[in-house]
Chain A
Amino acid sequence: MSTLLREHAEQLYAQELEEISRQETGRRPASWKLTPQGVVTYLTGGKLKNGFEVSPKYIGNKRLMEIAVATLTTDRALLLYGLPGTAKSWVSEHLAAAISGDSTMIIQGTAGTSEEAVRYGWNYARLLAEGPTPAALVETPVMRAMKDGKIVRIEELTRIGADVQDTLITILSEKTLPVPELNQEIQAVRGFNVIATANNRDKGVNELSSALKRRFNTVILPVPDTMEEEISIVKRRVESFEKVMELPAEPPALQEIRRIVTIFRELRSGTTLDGKSKIKVPSGTLSTAEAISVVNNGLAMAAYFGDGQLKAADLAAGIIGAIIKDPVQDKVVWQEYLETVIKPRDEWKDIYRACRDLS
Chain B
Amino acid sequence: MSTHILGIRHHGPGSARHVKAFLEELQPDIVLVEGPPEADALLARVGDKELQPPVAILCYQQDDLQHSVFYPFAVFSPEWQAILYAKQHNKKVRFFDLPIANQLAVEKEDRMKKHQPDETDTTRQASEEEPVAAAAGVREDPISYLSRAAGYEESEKWWEQMFEHRIQGEQVFEAVQEAMQSLRDELPSREDRLERLREAHMRKMIRQAEKDLFGTVAIVCGAWHVPALLNRSQQKEDNELLRGLPKTKIECTWIPWTYNRLSYHSGYGAGIVSPGWYEHVWTHPADDGTRWMSLVARLFRKGGMDTSVAHVIEAVRLAESLAAMRQLSKAGLEELNEATLSVLCNGESIQLAVIREELIIGNKLGEVPDSIPKPPLQVDMEKEQKRLRLPPTADFKDCTLDLRNDNDLERSIFLHRLQLLEISWGVPSTVSGKGTFKEQWRLQYDPQIAIDIIEKGAWGNTVEKAASAYVVHQATRAPSLPDITRLLEQTLPAELHAAVEVLVQQLNNLAAASGDVIQLMEAVPSLVTVSRYGNVRKTDAALVNGILEGMITRICVSLPNAATGVDEAASQRFLELFAALNEAVSTLQHAGMLSQWKQVLELVSTNPGSSPVLAGYALRIMADQKWIHGDELVKNFALRMSRLNDTRLSAAWLEGFLKGSGTMLLLDEDLWTVVNGWVAGLDDRIFMEVLPLLRRTFSKFTKPERKKIGEKIKGGKAPAGVAGMQQGNSFDEDQAKRGIPVVLQLLGLSKSGNNE
- Chain A contact residues, CB within 8 Å of chain B: 36-37, 40, 63, 66-67, 69-71, 73-74, 76, 79, 81, 210, 213-214, 217-220, 270-271, 276-280, 328, 332, 335-336, 339-340
Give the CA-CA distance A280 to B306 in the complex, in Å.
Answer: 35
Closest to B505 in A: A276
Residue from B318, B325, B510, B515 in contact with A36 in the complex, judged by beta carbons closer than 8 Å: B325
Q: Do residues B342 and A217 form an inter-chain contact, with CB atoms below 8 A?
A: yes
Report B81 CB to chain A, min CB distance, Å: 33
Given A214-B310, A219-B342: A70 and B321 interface contact (C-beta under 8 Å): yes
A-B contact count (CB 8 A): 83
Q: How far is the CA of A276 from the CA of B502 in the complex (A)?
A: 11
User: Which chain B residues numbered 315 to 341 have a C-beta less than 8 Å away from chain A?
Assistant: 317-318, 321-322, 325-326, 334, 338-339, 341
Is the beta-carbon distance between A67 and B338 smaller than 8 angstroms?
yes
Q: Is residue B670 contacting chain A, with contact meaning CB distance below 8 A?
A: no
Chain B, Cβ-Cβ closest to A64: B338
Name the residue among A36, A70, A335 with the largest chain B CB count within 10 angstroms. Answer: A70
User: Quick check: A213 and B346 within 8 Å, CB to CB?
Assistant: yes
Q: Which residue of A lies closest to B509 (CB)?
A: A278
Pick the contact of B343: A63, A217, A220, A280 (CB < 8 A): A217
Residue B175, interface by CB 8 Å: no
Which of B334, B513, B550 touches A340 (beta carbons < 8 Å)?
A: B550
Question: With A and B bound together, what is the CA distance between A128 and B325 in angstroms?
Answer: 52
Whether B325 and A37, one on each chain, are in contact in the complex, defined by CB atoms closer than 8 angstroms, is yes
Extra 18 A-B pairs, beta carbons < 8 Å, given A277-B512, A340-B550: A63-B338, A66-B326, A67-B338, A67-B342, A70-B321, A73-B325, A74-B318, A214-B311, A217-B318, A218-B345, A220-B347, A276-B505, A277-B509, A277-B550, A278-B509, A279-B513, A332-B561, A339-B553
Known A66-B326, A67-B322, A67-B338; contact A220-B348, beta-carbon cutoff 8 A: yes
Give the chain A neighbours of B343 by CB distance below 8 A: 76, 217-218
Q: Is B554 an interface residue (CB 8 A)?
A: yes
Contact of B508 among A217, A218, A278 (CB under 8 A): A278
Chain A residues with Cβ under 8 A from B326's Cβ?
66
Q: Across the interface, name the chain A residue whose C-beta is closest to B562.
A: A332
**How far, in angstroms, from A76 to B346 measured CA to CA in the complex?**
13
Interface residues of B (CB under 8 A from A): 306, 308, 310-311, 314, 317-318, 321-322, 325-326, 334, 338-339, 341-343, 345-349, 505, 508-510, 512-513, 515, 550, 553-554, 557-558, 561
A278 CA to B508 CA in the complex, in Å? Answer: 7
Evaluate contact between A70 and B318: CB separation under 8 angstroms. Answer: yes
* Contact status B558-A332, CB under 8 Å: yes
> Which residue in A67, A76, A335, A336 is a CB contact (below 8 Å) of B314?
A76
Which chain A residue lies CB-closest to B508? A277
B553 to chain A: which residues have CB within 8 Å? 339-340
Query: Which residues of B have CB within 8 Å of A276?
Result: 505
- The CA-CA distance from A79 to B348 in the complex, in Å, is 12
Contacts of B318 in A (CB 8 A): 67, 70-71, 74, 76, 217
B-side contacts of A81, CB under 8 Å: 346-347
State A71–B306 Cα separation when bound (angstroms).
Answer: 21
Q: Bound complex: CA of A339 vs CA of B552, how far in Å?
A: 13
Contacting pair B325 A69 (CB below 8 A): yes
In the complex, which residues of chain B have a beta carbon less than 8 angstroms from the beta carbon of A210? Answer: 306
Contact B557 A66 (CB under 8 A): no
* Bound-state Cα–Cα, A67 to B513, Å: 35
How many angstroms from the CA of A124 to the CA of B513 in the assembled complex?
60
Whether A74 pairs with B342 at a CB distance below 8 angstroms is no
* Minimum Cβ distance to chain B for residue A260 (Å): 22
For B306, list chain A residues within 8 Å (CB).
210
Judging by beta carbons under 8 Å apart, are A66 and B513 in contact? no
Q: Within 8 Å CB of A76, what residues of B?
A: 314, 318, 343
Q: How far is the CB of B663 from chain A (nearest CB, A)?
A: 39
B347 lies within 8 A of A280 (CB): no
| Across the A-B interface, the 8 shortest Cβ-Cβ residue pairs | A218-B347, A220-B347, A278-B512, A278-B509, A217-B342, A218-B346, A70-B321, A70-B322
Q: Are B550 and A66 in contact (CB under 8 A)?
A: no
- Could you tell me the distance between the alpha carbons of A198 and B510 in the complex, rounded to whole angstroms? 33
Separation of A73 and B341 alpha carbons in the complex (Å): 18
